[in-house]
Amino acid sequence: MSRFHATSHGMLAALLALLSMLGPFSIDTIFPGFPDIAREFGAGKVEMQQTVSVYLVAYALMGLFHGPLSDAYGRRPVIVAGLGIYALSAAAAALTTSMTALLVCRALQGMSAGAGQIVGRAIVRDRYHGAEAQRLMAQVTLLFGIAPAIAPVVGAALLGVAGWRGIFWAMAAFALLLGAACALSLPETHARDARQPFAPAPLLATCRRILGDRQFWPLAVSGTVNFSALFTYIVSAPAFVLELLHLTRAGFPWLFVPAIGGMMAGAWLSGRLAGKASAATTVGLGYAVMLAASAANVALHLWRPQPALPWSVIPIGVHAVGITLSFPTLVLLLLDRFPAQRGAASSMQTFVSLIFNAVLAGAISPLLSDSAPKLALGAAAFTATGFASWRWYRAMCRREAAREAAVAD
């Protein structure tokens, strides 16, 4: 029996979920250590925010190559190599003696952390189709949702035991263990005879084809800004939790548990709807939830600008349900546009998303994070943009169907 067939559905879902967890885990695990890092290196609030921005920019830029590399050399080698580089960069971060060196290590972490998430999506579509693919993508999203919830809690626990450097040592150990598991158990789903050369000319041609596809953009924008509405709160967590809610470091779960609980609930619903509801119905339901939560969040904080528990976090959790209810379907719709270049398509979608979220973390979040009404309005604006992009995509589909019907007649 081949390794492909020997790996069970449950094992594959667990491995892909752990690979997807690495990226968000690396973002917010260090949040509880921000004050100690800032104090040791004499860094200000903006400099500390760059530990997120440089990570995301590097993640996005290297993300352009993870997918094409896996299209050329196979899925498993790219993932295992990425985990090895990530482990080394995390260990180096634990040994840094300056803020500049820490930012370099964060960039290296970002360059390598995306391999699992980006290539993992291609693995799902390599192996499964239709409702089965949506169910697996939903399961991965469901398990992936645990990462941001436990990350700040784990970070706070490690901070008390080993200081902020212990957080990075834990990241290195996690990556090494995951790399070993993938080397032993992850199936290779991209056959050798289906591989495409990794060379400048074919790579540029593939990028042009993907970026020139008119339906790529509304799907990529929708998936990006939907998560950006929640990511606004995630990257603003130190300010939202410590300054606006006036909680201690132990208060991070007040934000992350409702948000990630909502993400997990939405992913579970997406899996339950697979094969029972159309893509349009599933995504439309997700937007109904997101728009309702956004309206409630804005109304609450315009009426009462000072955030309070639990009311200020309930809309965030509800909003997260809509995000992950729609996300697996949006990703599959995008990947199905490019059946021969799924890795590259996943890379391009991730690049668009992360470049925008890097700007959000480095430039937009500092402008919004000093006020709960600003955060609510910013998140609502992202949701409205996502809904408009989805409607744009649906209009394109209707026009394309009308043209095909006219030709058939």
Mean pLDDT of 329-346: 82
CA atoms within 13 A on the CB side of 57: 16
Q: What is the pLDDT of residue 116?
A: 82
- Interval 261-278: pLDDT, tens: 898 899 889 888 888 888
pLDDT score of 157 more than 50: yes
Mean pLDDT of 149-162: 78
Q: What is the pLDDT of residue 409?
A: 64
**Res. 1 pLDDT band, cuts 50 70 90:** very low
Q: How many domains does the chain have?
A: 1
- Interval 300-317: pLDDT, tens: 999 998 988 899 999 999
Which residue has better confidence, 92 or 201?
92
Percent of residues, the chain, with pLDDT higher than 90:
35
Cα–Cα distance list, 382 to 8, 230, 240 (Å): 38, 9, 18
- Interval 184-201: pLDDT, tens: 888 887 767 777 777 777
Q: What is the pLDDT of residue 142?
A: 67
Q: What is the pLDDT of residue 299?
A: 96
Q: What is the pLDDT of residue 2?
A: 41
> What is the CATH number for 12?
1.20.1250.20
Round to whole Å and give the CA distance between 43 and 175.
28
Q: What is the pLDDT of residue 124?
A: 78
- Structure-token pair, residue 30: 């260090």
Q: What is the pLDDT of residue 145?
A: 62
pLDDT score of 258 more than 60: yes
Range of the domain at 213: 3-408
Q: What is the pLDDT of residue 8?
A: 66
Mean pLDDT of 174-186: 90
Percent of residues, the chain, with pLDDT higher than 70:
95
Highest mean pLDDT, choosing among 30-34, 211-215, 249-253: 211-215
